[in-house]
């Protein structure tokens, strides 16, 4: 390509940001703009603030990081608020029996940031051109250029190349609505359909009363038979404690989430606070406040093939946790780096 490539990255989750961040370092001639539908960056590596409490209502932490990811977190990006959640994760089963977790797994660092896991996305976003609150509805490929269009069919931008990073079902909807060569479109829709996601209702419970001290930071349901799949003491993340606030995060199991997805917040709060009280054998039925997040596409159960997707149509690229086949922050970053390499190759 003779002239500088214009690239649109759709989605400012960690995969899209990691790709744009890497390309900015290695291919500064590429003109990259990131398009994000929500008000902030981070996607599912998300942080919310309610009543003075800071909590991560999507991904909880980064664990199992590779040396390259450790370097990114500990050296490359600002790390003054990077913290390891030292206290371990324990387990529970359908009968509410709590037991110590795997010591090997608990020996690994669990990275987050004292000011919220979105700090990671904010650091990756430094220096990038990001357009927030702009949903790309579909693309039109005309004369070797891609037009990015909104829901009304108005053109947001015209570029040489596009990288799509929303979860596979949302990417599939964009591709299905797009104007693309039919063969490529069919291949892409078919491949993206292979990545199935499970939903997750996340309920955050805030208490003004002190909670009983526990030897664990969080509990994970290992027999997958409990309505709660994960319960965490958010204020045990270093730097998050406040005198007046105790915060529990409950992530509900996929089937339970599916069945209760449209429940009203008061009913949901009563139901989950009851389940949590029984699990912890402590009366936590009257939280001072609660906050709910509906993750329709929380974690991929299966993946789509990176090579198939990235070879289907010239200058149309794909990456996300689903191209790794697993919902993990560090793997989504690595997929972003992987696609950045493919894009750099095409740009030269
Ligand atoms: C409840 C929950 C708990 C989790 N726990 C952990 C954990 O403890 N540890 C861990 O490592 N991982 C965890 N994960 C998984 C991890 O959060 C994801 O794998 C990772 O953040 C995915 O990043 P991504 O960039 O691929 O996708 P996303 O973060 O989903 O980013 C995609 C972005 O695209 C945007 N977008 C979508 N459609 C459009 C559009 N049409 N136009 C413009 N923008 C659009 C979205 O708003 C979003 O910002 C968890 C996830 C959830 C939901």
Q: What is the atom index within ligand 1 of the atom nearest the CA of 57?
A: 1
pLDDT in tens, 146-171: 999 999 999 999 999 999 999 999 99
Verify that 294 and 222 share a domain, yes or no. Answer: yes
Q: What is the pLDDT of residue 1?
A: 53
Residue 243 confidence (pLDDT) above 80: no
Domain annotation covers residue 37? yes
pLDDT in tens, 248-302: 999 999 999 999 999 999 999 999 999 999 999 999 999 999 999 999 999 999 9
pLDDT in tens, 4-61: 899 999 999 999 999 999 999 999 999 999 999 999 999 999 999 998 899 999 999 9
Q: What is the pLDDT of residue 272?
A: 98
Domain annotation covers residue 1? no
Verify that 267 and 143 share a domain, yes or no. Answer: no
Verify that 206 and 86 share a domain, yes or no. Answer: yes
11 backbone φψ class: left, alpha, beta (φ>0; ψ -120 to 50): left
Verify that 111 and 129 share a domain, yes or no. Answer: no
Verify that 166 and 248 share a domain, yes or no. Answer: no
Structure tokens at 334: 């690595």
Task: Give the domain CATH number at 14.
Answer: 3.50.50.60
The torsion angle over the Cα atoms of residues 215, 220, 224 and 227, rounded to 10 degrees, is 90
Q: What is the pLDDT of residue 142?
A: 96
For the segment 76-87, the average pLDDT, to the nearest whole number, is 96
Task: Give the domain CATH number at 289.
Answer: 3.90.660.10
Verify that 137 and 191 share a domain, yes or no. Answer: yes
Q: Note the pTM of the prediction, 2 decimals.
A: 0.97
Verify that 83 and 139 share a domain, yes or no. Answer: no
Verify that 167 and 185 share a domain, yes or no. Answer: yes
CA of 335 to the centre of ligand 1 (A): 13
Residue whose Cα lies nearest atom 19 of ligand 1: it is 327
Cα first-last separation, the chain: 6
Ligand 1 pocket, Cβ-based, cut-off 6 angstroms: 10-16, 35-38, 43-45, 58-62, 135-136, 165-167, 170, 174, 200, 202, 251, 295, 298-299, 320-321, 327-329, 332
Verify that 38 and 68 share a domain, yes or no. Answer: no
More confident residue, 340 or 243: 340
Number of domains in the chain: 2
HSE toward the beta carbon, residue 1, CA cutoff 13 A: 20
For the segment 313-330, the average pLDDT, to the nearest whole number, is 97
Residue whose Cα lies nearest atom 35 of ligand 1: it is 11
CA of 42 to the centre of ligand 1 (A): 7
- Structural domain that includes position 106: 48-116+197-299
């Amino acid at each position: 390509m003779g002239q500088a490539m214009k690239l649109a990255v759709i989605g400012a989750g960690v995969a899209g940001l990691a790709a744009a961040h890497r390309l900015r370092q290695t291919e500064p001639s590429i003109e990259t703009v990131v398009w994000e539908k929500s008000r902030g960056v981070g996607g599912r590596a998300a942080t919310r603030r309610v009543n003075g409490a800071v909590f991560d209502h999507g991904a909880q932490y980064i664990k199992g990081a590779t040396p390259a990811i450790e370097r990114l977190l500990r050296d490359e990006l600002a790390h003054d608020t990077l913290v390891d959640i030292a206290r371990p994760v324990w387990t529970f089963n359908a009968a509410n029996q709590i037991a110590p977790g795997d010591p090997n797994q608990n020996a690994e660092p669990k990275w987050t940031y004292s000011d919220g896991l979105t700090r990671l996305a904010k650091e990756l976003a430094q220096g990038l051109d990001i357009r927030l609150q702009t949903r790309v509805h579909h693309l039109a490929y005309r004369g070797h250029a891609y037009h990015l269009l909104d829901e009304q069919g108005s053109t947001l931008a015209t570029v040489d190349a596009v990288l799509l990073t929303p979860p596979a079902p949302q990417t599939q909807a964009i591709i299905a609505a797009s104007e693309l060569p039919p063969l490529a479109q069919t291949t892409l829709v078919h491949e993206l359909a292979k990545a199935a996601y499970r939903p997750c209702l996340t309920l955050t419970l805030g208490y003004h009363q002190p909670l009983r001290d526990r030897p664990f930071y969080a509990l994970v349901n290992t027999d997958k038979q409990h309505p709660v799949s994960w319960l965490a003491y958010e204020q045990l993340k270093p730097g998050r404690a406040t005198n007046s606030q105790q915060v529990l995060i409950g992530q509900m199991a996929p089937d339970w989430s599916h069945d209760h997805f449209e429940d009203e917040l008061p009913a949901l709060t009563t139901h989950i606070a009851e389940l949590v009280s029984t699990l912890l054998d402590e009366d936590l039925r009257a939280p001072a406040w609660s906050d709910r997040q509906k993750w329709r596409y929380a974690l991929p159960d299966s993946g789509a093939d990176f090579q198939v997707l990235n070879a289907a149509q010239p200058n149309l690229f794909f990456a996300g946790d689903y191209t790794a086949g697993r919902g993990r922050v560090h793997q989504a970053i690595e997929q972003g780096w992987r696609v950045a390499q493919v894009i750099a190759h095409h740009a030269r």
